[in-house]
Structure 1
Amino acid sequence: MYLADRTWPELGEYVANESLAVVPLGSTEQHGPHLPLATDHLIAEHLAREAADRAEVLCTPTINIGVSPHHRQFHGTMWVDPPAFRDYVESLSRNLSYHGIDRIVFVNAHGGNIVHLREVGRRLRDDGVAYALEWMWNDSIPDLVDDLFEHNGPHGGPKETAMIQHIAPELVHEEEFERARDEGVVDLTEIEMMVHGSRTFYDAIDNTESGVLGDQTDATAEKGEQLFEAAADQLVQLIDWVTDQPLDALLAKPHVDPQPGSGR
């Protein structure tokens, strides 16, 4: 059920019986010469809406801009500062809780959002507002990703390329695959990402001229469909698991006994 397509009485019927919502989040940032800036939020939205339909739960509109300053040198990249992102997502989540939602799955497709979504989830849980957790699509199917691609790459690589070939093929520039590969980094072991135990780079352009990593020529729409179906299935299973848990088992546990101040 997509929230924005429904009337308020229809949503009232939902929250009278259900208490979970999925919130898709991504970014609007460079994904090389072959993929649109919309890559991450397109993947998040399609997975969230597919899983919400299968699990018969509520899906909110997508948050399209995330924490992406590490791609700022490339044309068109948009971002918000981390504190603003965290506060916005937390405010939106508290809005959902006002309407009766106490379990939220952040359907995420951008690595730069992960740590901030986990922090928002902790804030909401510690305050007893809601149980919210971050879900990253490729982290749910790591073995399949490894099986499909010899040189995957964490950004703009064949896994994201294949996903967009499947869900929005008209936005993919296949004639640029070789450029993306040749001006990027195919094998991550070829670049020195750690020096004496320290990560020395801050921005994508420090490592890759084309802005992306991996071998994009290994991507196909058929592989993208495999990834999409497998990830959507994992998301449905997660939704079912969260729905089945008693709320008090999900929220923050009380301090161990003796309770602070109990002897005063």
Structure 2
Amino acid sequence: MNEWQELSWQEYEQLTNKKYAILPLGALEQHGPHMKLGTDNFLAEGVARLLSEKIKGILLPTINYGQVWSLKRFPGSLSLSTDTLKAIIKDIARGVKFQGVQYLIIVNSHIGNMTAVKEAAREIYDEIGFRVIYFTYPGINEIAKNVCQSPKSHPSIIHACEIETSMMLYIDDTKVDMNKAVTEYPEYPPGFDETPIYWDEVSSFGVFGDAKAATRQKGEQIINSVINNMITIIENITRRDESAKQ
């Protein structure tokens, strides 16, 4: 694995494998009393690094800010607009294509980024025919059903709970204080999924599930399964593209 920012220009020029550039995309937001504001950044970079090692990609520096509307009123959270994030992704995509990369792979750890990611990928494909492959933990819900003990607090939310805390314990347990972990199952009001509602209106601690149930072993199982899913999807996409060129 090569890290883009650790190479000299001559070392980059001499690379024989520029098929994949891998971009970790995180966010800066609260993750309960037991985890850091940069949890999404640490997870995105950690998972991207593991993926890069397996597929021999070039690891790009992490985008450490994301679209954090739902949690922006918690102390310490910072947010980019969807338009700003989309513009950053598109500029990076144009840049890596110019530098000879065949695919940009985005490893996203924050669901709030997905609108910007999907729109950027579609627009850059229409504009310059460059393929962006994007992931937000593919298959994680099914994996978690077989690994985790506690129920999810909401079908579409994975945040500072057993799942995400376990993942962070595996990536870097020095950034988790399990003595501060709490269990919190918010009561979601009618219309929670149909209209904008700040998450501090439903959560006191910023935890959406049972963080106390997290373990490093669960995190290892979840992340390894997610990475295997990523690799399968990447192989299928690249195989299809190669067949279309023949």
What is the TM-score with the length of structure 2 in the denominator?
A: 0.89
Cα offset, 1:185, TM superposition? 1.7
What corresponds to 1:192 in structure 2?
Answer: 189
What corresponds to 1:86 in structure 2?
Answer: 86
CA RMSD in angstroms comes to: 2.1
Whether the aligned pair in 1 keeps the contact of 2:22 and 2:104 (CA below 8 Å) is yes
What corresponds to 1:234 in structure 2?
Answer: 229
What corresponds to 1:208 in structure 2?
Answer: 203
215-224 or 117-126, which moves further after superposition?
215-224
Based on CA coordinates, which of the two structures has the bigger radius of gyration? 1
Task: Say which SS state the counterpart of residue 104 (structure 2) adopts.
Answer: strand
Give the Cα separation in 1 of the matches to 2:214 and 2:63: 26
Cα offset, 1:126, TM superposition? 0.6
Deviations 1:94-153, CA, capped at 9 Å, x for gaps: 11111112321111000000111000000011113411132011x333211122233234
What corresponds to 1:255 in structure 2?
Answer: none
147-156 or 69-78, which moves further after superposition?
147-156
Cα offset, 1:17, TM superposition? 4.5
Q: Which runs of 5+ in 1 are unaligned?
A: 251-264
Cα offset, 1:79, TM superposition? 1.1
When residues 146 and 117 of structure 1 are mapped into structure 2, their CA distance, relative to the original with a 3 A threshold, is same
What corresponds to 1:142 in structure 2?
Answer: 141
When residues 5 and 18 of structure 1 are mapped into structure 2, their CA distance, relative to the original with a 3 A threshold, is same
What corresponds to 2:4 in structure 1?
Answer: 3
Cα offset, 1:204, TM superposition? 1.1
Whether the aligned pair in 2 keeps the contact of 1:67 and 1:80 (CA below 8 Å) is yes
Which amino acid is the alignment partner of residue 74 of structure 1?
F
Indicate whether 1:98 and 2:95 are aligned.
no
When residues 248 and 63 of structure 1 are mapped into structure 2, their CA distance, relative to the original with a 3 A threshold, is farther
Task: Say which SS state the counterpart of residue 226 (structure 2) adopts.
Answer: helix
Which amino acid is the alignment partner of residue 171 of structure 2?
I
When residues 240 and 10 of structure 1 are mapped into structure 2, their CA distance, relative to the original with a 3 A threshold, is farther
When residues 12 and 240 of structure 1 are mapped into structure 2, their CA distance, relative to the original with a 3 A threshold, is farther
Give the Cα separation in 1 of the matches to 2:205 and 2:160: 10
What corresponds to 1:254 in structure 2?
Answer: none
Give the Cα separation in 2 of the matches to 1:127 and 1:200: 33
What corresponds to 2:14 in structure 1?
Answer: 13
Task: Say which SS state the counterpart of residue 70 (structure 2) adopts.
Answer: helix
Whether the aligned pair in 1 keeps the contact of 2:24 and 2:61 (CA below 8 Å) is yes
What corresponds to 1:56 in structure 2?
Answer: 56
Whether the aligned pair in 1 keeps the contact of 2:133 and 2:234 (CA below 8 Å) is no
What corresponds to 1:30 in structure 2?
Answer: 30
What is the TM-score with the length of structure 1 in the denominator?
A: 0.83
Give the Cα separation in 1 of the matches to 2:80 and 2:24: 17
Which amino acid is the alignment partner of residue 159 of structure 1?
I
Whether the aligned pair in 2 keeps the contact of 1:146 and 1:152 (CA below 8 Å) is no
The number of residue pairs the alignment matches comes to: 239
* Identity value in percent: 25
Task: Say which SS state the counterpart of residue 169 (structure 1) adopts.
Answer: helix
102-111 or 237-246, which moves further after superposition?
237-246
When residues 35 and 249 of structure 1 are mapped into structure 2, their CA distance, relative to the original with a 3 A threshold, is farther
When residues 239 and 84 of structure 1 are mapped into structure 2, their CA distance, relative to the original with a 3 A threshold, is same
